[in-house]
Amino acid sequence: MSAVDLMLLSIAIPFVGAVLILSFGSVRIAGGHVREWLSVITSIALLLTVLPLLEKFMQGASIDYRMVEPIPGIWLHLSIEPLGMMFACIASLLWVVNTIYSIGYMRSNNEKNQTRFYVCFAIAIGSTLGLAFSANLLTLFIFYELLSISTYPLVAHKGNELAKKGARTYLAILMGSSIGFLLLAIIWTWSLAGTLDFRAGGILSEHIGEPVIGILLFLFIYGIGKAALMPLHKWLPAAMVAPTPVSALLHAVAVVKAGVFTVLKVIIYIFGPATLADSLAADWIMYLAGFSIVLASTIALFQDNLKRRLAYSTISQLSYVTIAAILVAPFSIMAAALHIAVHAFGKITLFFAAGSIYTATHKTEISQLKGIGRQMPWTMGAFAIGALSMIGIPPAAGFLSKWYLLMGTFQTQEWFVFGVIIISTLLNAAYFLPILYTAFIEKADDPIAQGTMQEAPLPIVIALTITAGLTLLLFFLPDIPLQLINGLPGVKS
């Protein structure tokens, strides 16, 4: 099978899976519903398509496919570049793990409308793959919107007032920003440059000067609401009403990473590092992202709800990618790309752990977690690894991206960013370590529960052990992502 076929297949598989789940999902068979098996099969099929694709890509195959031309001059166009390949690998790998987790979680918590859940999940992953392989801004925008729409039912899943309200905020911010700013920025780019292709060195450089660069940059950065740069971050805590598998894969990996991925693509391939290197607007974005990092971490300190604390941590970590990308130094672009991978593995582990605690004990607040480390050693062990990765302590993978980011700040002499990272690391420690202290050192209020094992169902434990393992593995074997990242324009120089 040719590489192009593999690429098309990798986007098609989740959508086909969604149709199958919708058609046959509610049928019961021995050991559960058809939808669970179909989800597992679909996710494994996807991984088995993406891995050979990765191999072919690493061998240097050029993978490019044009579908149709909806607007004269702009094709629905797919092609693979290193960043997209990496993103696709992360999403498809973690989807398999997350599916296992979902089955455990959704069954144990007796969630309703599970068929809709698995269908929308598959569509969201398919959109993520499409977004990763988009070769121009229009194609990317299509999958970006599809991702917003397909994840809405997942956020509103419970259907009660709280869920609907959260989902409303979610959709209003994501689609409001994408229609209001991103679409405008894309059409404006088209009218200036006459192309929307992602090209090394950017397409805008010879067409614009200040202040249009600045205005466009702001429209892009704030149009990509999924990157959750403050003040457009409210949708992320709001999305925490969703079942935890959604928070874990979509709101720690697929959706938010789609945001920062798009930011990175726009900076590298639309503006081009050279255009932004001496732009005043880029400095402004840098300050705003730095502000977002510190403020979000500070807010996280005061959240007692575990998932909300994790959400604010995500907001802060996403701005790492944005700030690293906007520095446009070789090391910082590397850091931005690597952080997409690193944060994905760490944060999904943390969310898996949060969902595991909820499933086993129905506890959602950090203050309730006294002594839980003894009851749920696997869960809290994985949580600890995830937390270390967030703080950036070896041997967790978080150390790597922080290292390159700091190198980037040396390269560019941006001491503001250096300071932000140091402060933020301290804040990360300040809001993660107390959780570990509460869980492992403090004694449980309830003496009976003390010391008895009370782990979550097996699929959940398996899933979070795998992701915790991957977080450690990535520290020791960062070759594959690094090899991909070294192929990015702006990194090699």
Closest alpha carbon to 464 in 341, 352, 381, 372? 352
Query: Which is nearer to other proteins, 72 or 447 (by Cβ)?
Result: 72
- Number of Cβ within a 10 Å radius of residue 349: 32
* Gap between the Cα atoms of 366 and 380, Å rounded: 13
Minimal distance, residue 28 CB to other proteins, in Å: 19
Nearer to other proteins, 175 or 266 (CB): 175
Cβ distance to other proteins smaller for residue 180 or 457: 180
Identity at 422, one-letter amino acid code: I
Q: Are 474 and 386 spatial neighbours (Cβ–Cβ below 8 Å)?
A: no
Q: Which of 46, 138, 260, 396 binds other proteins (CB under 8 A)?
A: 138
Return d(Cα 196, Cα 203) in angstroms, integer.
Answer: 8
Q: Are 139 and 76 in contact (CB under 8 A)?
A: yes
Concatenating the DSSP letter of every residue in 421-462 gives HHHHHHHHHHHHHHHHHHHHTSPPSSTTTTT---PPPHHHHH
447 binds other proteins (CB under 8 A): no
Write the binding mask 167 to 186 for other proteins: x where contact by CB under 8 A, - elsewhere. xx--xx--xx--xx--xx--
Q: Contact between 80 and other proteins (CB under 8 A)?
A: no
Q: Which is nearer to other proteins, 149 or 473 (CB)?
A: 149
Binding map of other proteins across residues 28-67, x = CB under 8 A, - = no contact: ----------------------------------------
Evaluate whether 260 touches 322 at the Cβ level (below 8 Å).
yes
Torsion angle, alpha carbons of 333, 147, 245, 402, to 10 = 10
> Which residue number, 161 or 479, has a Cβ lying nearer to other proteins?
161
User: Does position 73 bind other proteins by CB under 8 A?
Assistant: no
> How, if at all, do strands 77-79 and 64-66 pair?
antiparallel
Report whether 355 contacts 455 (CB < 8 A).
Answer: no
Instruction: Determine if 70 is a binding residue for other proteins (CB under 8 A).
Output: yes
Question: Per CB under 8 A, which region of 71-79, 352-360, 368-376, 477-485 contacts other proteins?
Answer: 71-79
| Minimum separation from the CB atom of position 413 to other proteins (A) | 37
Please state, as a whole number, how many other Cβ atoms lie within 10 Å of the Cβ of residue 181: 19
30 is written with which tokens?
């021995």
Closer residue to other proteins in complex, CB, 216/369: 216
Instruction: Look at the block and give the residue holding tokens 């031309």.
Output: 69
Rounded Cα distance, 252 and 247, in Å: 6
**Closest to other proteins by CB, 6 or 266:** 266
Residue with tokens 């229009």: 138
Q: What pairs with residue 78 in β-bridges?
A: 65, 134
Distance CA 233, CA 228 (A): 4
Binding letters toward other proteins, positions 363-402, x by CB under 8 A: ----------------------------------------
Three-state DSSP class for residue 79:
strand
Q: Is 188 in the site for other proteins (CB under 8 A)?
A: yes
How many residues of this chain bind other proteins (CB under 8 A)?
A: 33
Choices 141-149, 235-243, 380-388, 417-425 (CB under 8 A): range interacting with other proteins: 141-149
Nearest CB to other proteins, comparing residues 157 and 308? 157
3-class DSSP state for residue 254? Answer: helix
* Candidate list 16, 142, 393, 433; residue touching other proteins; CB under 8 A: 142
Nearest distance, CB of residue 12 and other proteins, angstroms: 16
Shortest distance (Å) from residue 197 CB to other proteins: 17
Contact mark string toward other proteins, 146..165, x via CB under 8 A: x--x---x--x--xxx-xx-
What's the CA gap between 199 and 115, in Å, rounded? Answer: 40
Shortest Å distance, C-beta 18 to other proteins: 14
Q: Which two tokens stand for residue 478?
A: 């960062």
Binding status of residue 12 toward other proteins by CB under 8 A = no
Contact between 187 and other proteins by CB under 8 A: the answer reads yes
Cβ closest to other proteins, residue 166 vs residue 373: 166
Show the tokens assigned to 27. Answer: 């049928």
User: Which stretches of the chain bind other proteins, using CB under 8 A?
Assistant: 68-72, 76, 138, 141-142, 145-146, 149, 153, 156, 159-161, 163-164, 167-168, 171-172, 175-176, 179-180, 183-184, 187-188, 190-191
